[in-house]
Amino acid sequence: MSFGALDAWWWPYVFILAAGWLATDSWRFLGVYLGGKMSEDSDILVFVRCVATALVAAVIANLVVFPGGALAGSPLALRIGAAAIGFAAYLAAGKRMIVGIVSAEAVLLAGLYLL
Partner 1 sequence: MSENGSARPVQAKQPPSETRLTWYLRGVRRCFSVPGLVLVSAFIGFAGLAREAGLTLEQSVFMTGIVWALPAQVVLVGAVLAGNSLPAAAFAVALSSVRLAPMVVALMPEMRAEKTRPWVLYLLSHFVAVTSWVLAMESFRHVPRDMRTAYYAGLGSTLVLGNMCVVALVFLLASRLPPPLAAALFFLTPIYFLTSLWGSARERAGHVAMVLGLLSGPVFHLLVPGFDLLAAGVVAGGLSYGWHRLRKRRDPGGTMRNDRERAE
Closest distance of CB 6 from partner 1, Å: 11
Identify which of residues 55 and 77 has a Cβ nearer to partner 1 in the complex: 55
Helix (H) or strand (E) holding 101: helix 97-114
- Closer CB to partner 1, 2 or 8, in the complex: 2
CB closer to partner 1, 7 vs 39: 39
Note whether 62 and 83 are within 8 A (CB).
Answer: no
**Diameter over CA atoms, the chain:** 56
